[in-house]
Amino acid sequence: MLKALFLIFFLILIGTLGFSMIEHMPPLDALYMTIITIFTVGFKEVKEPMSAAGRLFTIFIIIGGVGTVLYGFTKMSEAVYEGGVSAFLRRKKMEKELSRLKDHYIICGHGRIGRIVRERMEEEKTPFVIVDSNPEVIAELRASGTCLFLEGDATHEDVLLKAGIKKAKGLASLLPSDADNLYLVLTSKQISPSLFVLSKAMDDDAEKKILQIGANKVFSPYKISGLRIAQSLLRPTLVDFMDLVIRRQEISLNMEEFTLIKGCHLAGLSLRESDIRKHANVIVVAIKKPGKNIIFNPSSSETMESGDTLLVMGNEEAILTFEQYIKEYDP
């Protein structure tokens, strides 16, 4: 835009000097003649008749002026649109899409871990929104155009409300520092006490404190990496198998978790009585009862209750069948 304004100013200067020298006009008359020529207003010429040199110079100013003015207006319009109107429309569209979100996940922090979480969420086609305050990250997300994002400090209550925290299914606190994660977990639980909140912690002390203030799950990247490396050395085949299950690649085997809501027709039945294997052809790998440890490889006499979370394994079709089966008679 500055380049366009400079070209227009330069052309006005050349025109004013040219008319002053060729037609011997006073500076004000030369400026006036240049302006009405450049902008093709069509008012009467200041000096009549004009010399041949003056007419040729006027033709030059008209040709140069039309091109320069059009170029200038185009650049200024682009600047106004991109800087104001376009940004406004993008923001309104984003706000509208955010208001429609329900049972989604909020990813706070789009660093190395947040990027991996986002990619997996996209693979699973799970609704989510990213919250980050880094302008470079926001520019990257805006350029990609593949996901919903919100620019702002995730530790602020108003930002979390805009992200739809009251309608969200879960929140991942992946901010750079333990102090920020601790404050974010505290704020999130104050707004929505029942929200499932997972947080990152870099040391054991921070992990304990974040759990104490209400986080449902806390993980340490260093601890997880160390355990994974140890398992890869000691039990490489097991790790390879778990990678296949988690990434859902190469084999048609999935693992999913389902929570039995209040009134579910499976509540009160044992695994034997429910005959899940017959109805959906899935294996119940584990049962997590509220406030208790996970029961791995539960026996057929294990009774399921409302609030229990079942971890089941099977192919994609079986998983979908089981999901439909547990919802079939739900209230």
Position 177 scores a pLDDT of 92
CATH class for the region spanning 101-219: alpha beta
What is the tens place of the pLDDT at every residue in 157-196? 999 998 999 999 999 999 999 999 999 999 999 999 999 9
Tokens representing residue 31 in the block: 């400026």
Judged by DSSP in three states, 273 sits in helix
So where are the chain's domains?
2-95, 101-219, 252-327
- Alpha-carbon distances, residue 121 vs 126, 195, 252 (angstroms): 5, 18, 19
Amino acid (one-letter) located at 41: V
CA–CA distance, 244 with 237 (Å, rounded to integer): 11
Amino acid (one-letter) located at 128: F
**Residue where the block lists tokens 């059009």:** 70
CB crowding 313-327: b at 16 or more within 10 Å, else e: bbeeebbeebeebbe
Position 264 scores a pLDDT of 85
Position 19 scores a pLDDT of 84
Is residue 155 exposed (0-12), middle (13-18) or buried (19+ Cβ within 10 Å)? buried
Average of per-residue pLDDT values in the chain: 83
8 A C-beta contact, residue 82 and residue 75? no
Tokens representing residue 264 in the block: 């579910």
Distance of CA 6 to the CA centre of its chain: 39
8 A C-beta contact, residue 11 and residue 38? yes
Instruction: Examine domains 2-95 and 101-219 and report if their fold is the same.
Output: no
What is the tens place of the pLDDT at every residue in 46-92? 667 778 888 888 888 888 777 777 777 777 776 666 555 666 666 77
Nearest to 173 by CA among 100, 222, 94, 113: 113
Position 93 scores a pLDDT of 76
Low-confidence ranges of the chain (pLDDT < 50): 250, 330-331
CA–CA distance, 274 with 287 (Å, rounded to integer): 14
| C-alpha dihedral sign at 236, 238, 244, 247 | negative
Phi, psi (rounded to 5 degrees) for 260: -80, 115
CA–CA distance, 55 with 196 (Å, rounded to integer): 79
pTM: 0.59
**Residue where the block lists tokens 């739809």:** 164
Position 331 scores a pLDDT of 46
The CATH number of 2-95 is 1.10.287.70
252-327 CATH choice from 3.40.50.300, 3.40.50.2300, 3.20.20.150, 3.30.70.1450: 3.30.70.1450
